[in-house]
Copies of this chain bind each other. A is one copy, B any other.
Amino acid sequence: MIRVGIVGASGLAGGELIRLATQHPELELTFLGGSSSAGRRPAELHPGLRLDLGLTVEPVPEDLSDRCDVVLLATPAPASAELAARLADQVPCVIDLSGAFRIRTPALHDRWYPNVPRTAELADRFVYGVPELVGDQLVGASLISLPGCFATAITLGLAPLVTALGLNLKNVVVDGKTGSSGGGLQLRTADLHPLRNGAIAPYAPAGHRHAAEVRDFLERSKPGGIEALSMSAYGVSHVRGLMASSYVFTDDEVDARTLHRAYLRFYKEHPFVRVRRHNETLIPVPDPQAVLGSNFCDVTVLHDEEGGRIVVLSALDNMVKGAAGQAVQALNIRFGLPVETGLTMQPVMPA
C-alpha cells in the first residue's frame, strides 16, 4: 500500500481527493492536513464521505517523512509554494494541484501569480503536464505539478493539432464555461446560491491564466506552433464540470474526416480521453454532464467550413480529470501502477 497524505482537506479538491483515495485499492490514507479545519473529521467537512474514516484533520507537522510516501497538495498556490519547498526533501513524491508551479517561464509566472513567490530552482524540478502527454516523465518523479482544469481540457483538445497533425495555429480563441465548483468554497457574495444560480457570469472575460499556462506548455512542446491564443471564462448555472471551446484558425488544409481520425489515433492508448462524434448519442456531445464524477475527458473536433475554422470541444469534470482524478492518475504512473487503478468509476448521469 502507498501511504498518502492530503493537505487542504477542507476544500473541494481536498474532499474529492479523499473520496478517490478511499475508493483506491492501493492507497492508504495516512494523513489529512489543514489549518482552519484541524480537529474535524472528514465527513463533517464533506457530508458525502463515509463516516468511518479513522482520521481527523491535523495541522501539517514539521516532518511527514515517516508517515507518507506521497503528499497531495490541495492548497492555495501560496501555501503550496511554501509546503512544496519544505516537503520536497521529506517524502518521495509531492503532487501539487495548485497553480504555484505550473508556468515555467518566470516572467509569465509573475504576471499571473504575483503573490506566489517561488525559486526558479525549485520550479524547474517539477514535472508539469497532462499525464496523457508527459506520461514517461512522471515515472518516478519526485515533484509533480498538475495542470489547471481548463488547461487540461484545452491542452488535450489542441495537442493532436499541434503535435500529430503539425498544423500551424495562427489564432486560437478559447471560450471556457464552468460550474460553480470551480470557484471553491470561499465566502463571496457573488457565489451565494441566489446570485450564482441562473447566472452566466463573465468572471474572466478578457484573459485567464490557464491560457498562459497552455501556451507556456505547448510552446515548449512545439515552439511556434501557436501564434496567438486568447481566452475568456464564464461561470454557468450548474455545479460540476466544464467545457473548453477552442476556435482554431489555420491556413493549413484540413477536413473533418482527417481531423476526427487523427484524434482517434492520437488517444487510442489513453483510456481517459474519449474522442466522440458530435451526434453519436441522444444529446449533443461533448457535454460535461456525460463525464460527471469520472476521470474522462470527452473531446470532439469539428470542421466549420463556412466559418473557416476548426472547432475543438473538450469536456471534463473539473474536480476529477481537472483536479483530484488527474492527481491519482499521475500518482498511478509515478508509482508504476496501471493507470486506471482506482479510477474506473463511470460517469453518474443524469445528475
Residues of A that sit less than 8 Å from B by CB? 12, 15, 19, 22-23, 43-51, 171, 173, 175, 177, 179-181, 183, 185, 187-203, 205-207, 228-232, 234, 236-243, 245, 247, 249, 274, 276, 278, 280-294, 300, 302-304, 306-309, 311, 313, 315, 344-351
Q: Give the chain B neighbours of A202 by CB distance below 8 A.
A: 243, 245, 278, 284-287, 300, 313
Q: Give the chain B neighbours of A236 by CB distance below 8 A.
A: 177, 200, 236-238
- Cβ B194 vs Cβ A245 within 8 A: no
Query: For the complex formed by this chain, how many copies does it contain in all?
Result: 4
Q: Give the chain B neighbours of A278 by CB distance below 8 A.
A: 202, 205
- Cβ B349 vs Cβ A351 within 8 A: no
- Cβ B280 vs Cβ A43 within 8 A: yes
Q: Give the chain B neighbours of A190 by CB distance below 8 A.
A: 282-284
30 contacts between A and B (CB under 8 A): A23-B344, A43-B281, A47-B349, A48-B290, A48-B292, A48-B346, A48-B347, A51-B274, A171-B249, A175-B247, A181-B194, A181-B350, A185-B192, A191-B193, A193-B193, A194-B350, A195-B289, A195-B350, A198-B241, A198-B288, A198-B289, A198-B351, A201-B284, A202-B245, A205-B245, A205-B278, A205-B284, A206-B303, A237-B237, A292-B351
A203–B300 CA distance with the chains assembled, in angstroms: 13
Contact A247/B173 with A202-B287, A283-B195, A290-B47 known, Cβ cut-off 8 Å: yes
Q: Give the chain B neighbours of A199 by CB distance below 8 A.
A: 238, 283, 287-289
A191, A284, A303: most-surrounded residue (chain B CB, <10 A): A284
User: Which 7 pairs across A and B sit closest by C-beta, in order of nearness?
Assistant: A230-B307, A48-B347, A48-B349, A206-B304, A193-B196, A293-B348, A180-B193
A44–B282 CA distance with the chains assembled, in angstroms: 6
| Shortest CB distance A241–B (Å) | 7
